[in-house]
Chain A
């Protein structure tokens, strides 16, 4: 285990920023701490670095309890959101700083810095000062500076938030390659679920200072443990269902009562990909009109409006969209392939419920 948090909590005055958080990461793993802003993920990261002290719980780095170890002695690399480059030092001296502190020999420092300059494609910029660099370059200098003293683990706080979309994409790829090539153990904080899904080996999802779920990107997407995760990762349709006449009803949509009595309410959720669409308005169970179409690249998201005015979001491939001749205001029919029962607010999700396959072969079966 490279890093382990055991029941870690942090209070600021009366506010509990992090409460009873436990997770661990293996050597060579790239893990994302994902959550909306203010959910405590940055505080967790800063506690691992030693920039904040936990109110309760223990933090281990490589099996050693580090609660009482100063920031200086933890040997972690930290990349700040706003880079925090030493603005009075050149790129060379920024990268060399940690090595000088550790009293490396001059020759060794020069060698290590030029190695990192090569690695992060900063050749020719060694004599520049931070204010003479672009955002992406500054970020790479910050990475190089953190990596120079060979840290046990690299911690990154919203590393790509301050650069524009194109550079962000490039930096993400840098991080993935660096992590793979150098066998780095890295933990990064992000509020961007797409970023976490794309580059992390595993994701720790935070909400209100608590861990909601830990899993691979695939696991948290396909089997969200809580409604929060289901809503935060990707898109989810959530419906309020009331049992009337022994059937759960949400507008025109009908579901089995799932053991609920007459008049009781429960909620269900389903992903846009679980909606099958037919261009024949009477081929599938429910009728609807295409209200809006969103172009997402390979996929198209269509918003379907039922006669009652209720809308649901569905997803089809670009090819299916064309094949079915879908367009705004087009009448279609649809059917759900699967859905989940949602427990009361915030609770754990029930396992998936597949709808009986009573319908003709379905179209729009995407991912």
Chain B
């Protein structure tokens, strides 16, 4: 949708600067071939391999108790981390966009840290902190709290890796909106809580949802950091990606692909949702811009500016 509109606009606006058709078609062919060979084909192959031993085998692979437990664990981890990161992201974005405070630039940098640190290093950081030989290890052992090679460690790792998604999505939106709407609500008597729920949150809801979807996709698919802290205990600390790897190493020809196809389906679902949201926000944005740019377009309608300036009698 978006790209179609883009093309139209370009075609209309700078026909004189357009490339000759053969260049256009060559580039399009190259791009499509590349995407087909390296993106689409492998993905399709996953599904083909998954059902290569028939649908019965496919179903059995997924119904396997260990796979079932991996599915449950993956959903559990996502179920914990996504709401938490949604809350953290909102708070961080709010703080950065609406207030000035010392250390703001530092916070902004730290939010990006999980993007720049390799997930494996993230896992190691947690091991060094919470592991038996780690900083807090002895204390944790004393109190019989297990974090590394257990679910809490995997939740922490996922939390860390997926932290930036919501905040990064919200900060520019909140910065662009400024605080005037909130101030307006305050002058009308609304307190902070009411202002947040009725003014701030609704105005960022699509951005928030977008961030949540990306965050969720990463939480479901995270491998590196989780792999380091999980301990790979089958049926206990295997998530879906870890399960896929394990099955693959067991030289099973179809089972890993069957499980992988679940992850691939989730990825496709994420893509669809993401595109829908992008389309929706883009349309809203375009609409807002268009109206803002040509207010005169509405002049013939009731109550418009220039149509009539007769005050109703009071």
**A residues neighboring B (CB under 8 Å):** 49-51, 71-78, 80, 82, 84-89, 97-98, 101-102, 118-119, 121-125, 131-137, 145-146, 149, 163, 166-167, 170, 173-174, 177, 181-182
Contacts and interface: CB of A to CB of B under 8 A. Distances in A.
Given A87-B203, A166-B306, A97 B190 contact: yes
B208 to A, nearest CB: 13
Interface in B260-293: 284, 287-288, 291-292
A77 B186 CA distance: 10
B183 A84 contact: yes
Given A82-B180, A87-B181, A133 B291 contact: yes
Interface stretch (B15-23, B35-43, B64-72, B296-304): B296-304
B309 A173 contact: yes
B188 A101 contact: yes
27 contacts: A49-B187, A71-B183, A84-B181, A86-B184, A87-B181, A87-B288, A97-B188, A121-B303, A122-B303, A123-B302, A124-B302, A125-B302, A131-B288, A131-B291, A132-B287, A134-B296, A134-B297, A136-B295, A136-B305, A137-B305, A146-B188, A166-B306, A167-B306, A170-B305, A170-B309, A174-B311, A182-B314
A104 B285 CA distance: 34
B296 A86 contact: no
Contact of B298 (A119, A137, A166, A181): A137
B188 A123 contact: no
Interface in B177-200: 180-181, 183-191, 194, 198-199
Contacts of A177: 311
A73 B190 CA distance: 9
Interface of B: 180-181, 183-191, 194, 198-199, 202-203, 205, 284, 287-288, 291-292, 295-299, 301-306, 308-309, 311-312, 314
Nearest to A170: B309
Contact of B183 (A74, A80, A101, A135): A80
Nearest to B314: A181
Which among A72, A132, A145 has the greatest number of chain B C-beta atoms within 10 A? Answer: A72
Nearest to A97: B188
Given A121-B312, A131-B292, A166-B306, A72 B181 contact: no
B187 A78 contact: yes
Which among B184, B191, B298 has the greatest number of chain A C-beta atoms within 10 A? Answer: B184
A146 B185 CA distance: 10
A75 B303 CA distance: 28
A133 B186 contact: no
Nearest to B188: A98
A98 B189 contact: yes
Contacts of B311: 121, 174, 177
B180 A134 contact: no
A137 B303 contact: yes
Which among B184, B188, B190 has the greatest number of chain A C-beta atoms within 10 A? Answer: B188
Nearest to B179: A84
Contacts of B288: 87, 131
Nearest to B288: A131
B292 to A, nearest CB: 7
Contacts of B303: 121-125, 137
A134 B291 contact: yes
A158 to B, nearest CB: 13
Which among A76, A77, A131, A174 has the greatest number of chain B C-beta atoms within 10 A? Answer: A131
A80 B302 CA distance: 24
Contacts of A145: 184, 188
A78 B312 contact: no
A3 B198 CA distance: 31
A5 B186 CA distance: 22
B48 to A, nearest CB: 46
A50 B184 CA distance: 12
Contacts of A82: 180
A51 B302 contact: no
B302 A71 contact: no
A101 B185 CA distance: 9
Contacts of A77: 187
B308 to A, nearest CB: 8
Contacts of B188: 97-98, 101, 145-146, 149
B180 A101 contact: no
B189 A72 contact: yes
A133 B298 contact: yes
Contacts of A134: 291, 295-299, 304-305
A111 to B, nearest CB: 15
B103 to A, nearest CB: 17
Contacts of B191: 72
Nearest to A51: B183
Contacts of B287: 131-132
A167 B181 CA distance: 24
A16 B287 CA distance: 41
Contact of B180 (A75, A84, A119, A173): A84
B185 A97 contact: yes
Given A84-B181, A87-B181, A72 B186 contact: yes
Given A122-B303, A134-B291, A88 B190 contact: no
The 10 closest A-B pairs by CB, nearest first: A134-B295, A136-B305, A98-B188, A84-B180, A88-B202, A131-B288, A78-B187, A124-B302, A84-B184, A101-B189
Given A101-B194, A133-B291, A118 B304 contact: no
Contacts of B309: 170, 173
A28 to B, nearest CB: 15
B184 A78 contact: yes
A137 B198 CA distance: 23
B4 to A, nearest CB: 23
Nearest to B308: A121
Contacts of B203: 86-88
Contacts of B194: 101
A86 B185 contact: yes
Nearest to B294: A134
A84 B299 CA distance: 22
Contacts of A50: 187
Nearest to B186: A71
